[in-house]
Chains A and B, each alone.
Chain A
Amino acid sequence: MSESTQTKEEWVPKGDLQEVKDPEWLFHEAPRETEFITGSEAAREAIRRANVDIAISYPITPQSETMQQAGYLYDEGYIKEYYRAEEEIGVMSALGGASRAGVRSLTATSGPGLMRGMEAISSWPGARTPLVLMNMCRVINTPLAIQPDNIEISFLLNTGILHAHAENQQDFFDYSLAAFMVSEQVDVTLPAVVSVDGFFVTHARGQVSMFSQDYKLPPRDGWRSAVPAMDNENPPARLSRDAPIQKSNFISYHMHASWQQEVFAAVERSAKYWRKYIGDLIEVINPDAEEFIVSSGACVSQAREAVRQEGEKGREVGLIKIKTIRPWPKAELFAALKNAKRIFVPEFNQAGWLHKELCSTLYGQIKADIIPGPRVYGGMTMPTEMVLEWLAKYRK
């Protein structure tokens, strides 16, 4: 909140008092302090340190808290521009417009909001617009529900958007900050989504260790980009004006195809930056096990507990946490699972998108059974017992 004791002239944006630091130092070396906060609060703390230029908001449960917190950060001067837009198509379109102008752009949404904004969202990568969308996963209606369920991630898989899936509040803080840095790399220049499971993480507390709020990421440099910003600071070039790809001839098809190829190649190129900022794209526990659980998001936490309980009984079960859905860590998964005999893929959705992704990666490569489950959806939680039951059932 702006301090009522200050006059307008005296007001100093708090973001101006923060010191820009090297992101690698911030992510790996800067001293950290731990707080016990919700996922939404972790998002707020990441945004505070992200040197965001513009944030555009629209409410939807369970995301609303994050973007209203972004509003308070704007009021304090950590974010330079902020407004509540008309609805998600408006938000996502405006965010694309802002990113085209070369500024660091942020929004957040959930399930139905994501689907509403999808036309704009799916055109971000082709427009080469670096930005960050925080996505607090929620059931897609109908029947109307506000509960956690991450089926919406399946709709983003083939868009060319970078996508990290946070397990907990700590990941949400770390991945979100990393996402800004990765998306703005010249040889990436793509939007990034950081998904987190709604309520389980956004509304629950966890320990989050954070570097000081006196520091912030370097600003976005609008000049460093795979395509020129639409800022009219370059001599007008036919590339940014002509629309030859809309014409029906072989050249236009070829142009569109190569443009798509380049977008997806850029997704792959982003892997090295993700590794630089958040470490390996997968986390592996018990690498020598024959039985593995492969998961992403909050589901990993339940799997982690199942693996621990199995360990207490003397049974070694492996666990793989997938941090980035896009880029998809194909090589890492293949290497980690090459000796597996049985793979479980617990998920918080009905579609089983993670299972399908895994099957297509491992098909013909290894001999393991890849079991489609256990799955919960529609807001259900996954008790550790459920994971243990599945493990036991398939051992028989």
Chain B
Amino acid sequence: MSLETVRPSPGFEELLPIEYRDLVKHGQYGRDVKVSEIGKFKELVEEHPMCAGCAMTLFIRLAMMALPNPEHTINVGTAGCGRLAISQANIPFIYGNYGDTNSVASGLKRALKLRFPNQVKDVVVMAGDGGLIDIGFQGLMHSWFRQEKFTTIMLDNEVYGNTGGQESGMTLKGQILKMAPRGKEVDKIDAMGLAKVAGCAYIARIAPTNPSRVMRTIRRAVLIAREVGPTYIQAYTSCNIEYAIPTPDVMQDAFDVEKERYGFEEIMTDEAKAYITEIEKKQKELAKANAKK
């Protein structure tokens, strides 16, 4: 899809819903948006049925804003809270079977490359901790080992939120949750370490405390996945319901957890570093030149 496909043909414009017209006129297509522009442009995801105060929703909103090429992006997800918001974005969304995201994305990405050899199509998996590290573990790991060129974003709320609060592989040891009546017996899985071992080109751990950093991280991950190899972002996106975080305290919790054990970490291969440095250098130069005009 080029931007021409997004834009309505003359004469048809007035037949389209205002939402869509706004998206074309005032959306993020064809440009990079900044966090400071929130409220001044039509976002790809606006309405959603997520719980009030959900940190995951904030993260997803930022993730959509960060996509470098939304008109050529396909999101892949699985069962879990996140898809309730992801499916509302103005981006094709594949909602597959339980834990099948990284297998689906492997076939999808390779097939898109066959059909559109001259057009980059970004594939982004966005799924929960349970969907990726438990039921989707095998597909996740093998997509990394195979060096599949797409981004995986784990929305890590450390619980099965959508099914009502069961422990997941990413839950902390000792945490009492459903299906862990005596507290979780084993440690939180070191998914970052696994990503390293499996050869991800870019790995980041992040909490949604710094919106600009969230966007930069996602942009980097998507761009590196295009050319270099698989990329992985692990984002702390707390569940205020199952962890009983009062709604006004959700962001404070994110800051606290970030400080305690979820600090920002970014790991990339030399190849990825050289590639992204070059891109960002050019972007900066372009921005400078534009500012002078």
Contact = CB atoms under 8 A, between A and B. Distances in A.
Interface of A: 53-54, 56, 80-81, 83, 85-87, 89-91, 93-103, 105, 119-120, 123, 222, 230-236, 240-243
Nearest to B84: A243
B103 A97 contact: yes
Contact of A241 (B73, B87, B109, B121): B87
Contact of A54 (B6, B74, B97, B111): B111
Nearest to B98: A119
A231 B94 CA distance: 11
A95 B108 CA distance: 8
B175 interface: no
Nearest to B8: A235
Interface in B171-217: none
A231 B114 contact: no
A281 to B, nearest CB: 31
B111 A234 contact: no
B121 A81 contact: no
B58 interface: no
Given A100-B94, A120-B97, A241-B92, A231 B107 contact: no
Nearest to A237: B92
A94 B104 contact: yes
Nearest to B142: A86
B262 interface: no
B104 A231 contact: no
- Bin chain B's interface residue count: 35 or more
Contacts of B95: 243
B94 A97 contact: yes
Contact of B104 (A97, A234, A243): A97
Interface in B105-139: 105-116, 121, 138-139
A336 B110 CA distance: 47
A93 B100 contact: yes
Contacts, number: 142
B89 interface: yes
B24 to A, nearest CB: 9
Given A230-B108, A231-B121, A235-B5, A102 B103 contact: no
Contact of A236 (B91, B105, B111, B116): B91
B110 A81 contact: yes
B166 interface: no
A91 B139 CA distance: 10
A77 to B, nearest CB: 13
Given A103-B115, A232-B74, A241-B88, A98 B108 contact: yes
A361 B138 CA distance: 43
Contacts of B141: 86
A232 B107 contact: no
A98 B110 contact: yes
B226 interface: no
28 contacts: A80-B114, A83-B110, A85-B106, A85-B142, A86-B103, A90-B106, A90-B139, A93-B96, A93-B97, A94-B107, A94-B108, A96-B96, A96-B100, A98-B111, A99-B111, A101-B111, A101-B112, A119-B100, A120-B97, A120-B100, A230-B94, A232-B71, A233-B1, A233-B5, A234-B5, A241-B92, A242-B88, A243-B95
Contacts of A100: 94, 104, 108, 111
Given A83-B110, A231-B74, A240-B93, 10 more contacts: A53-B111, A83-B106, A86-B139, A90-B139, A96-B100, A97-B106, A97-B109, A100-B111, A232-B74, A235-B5
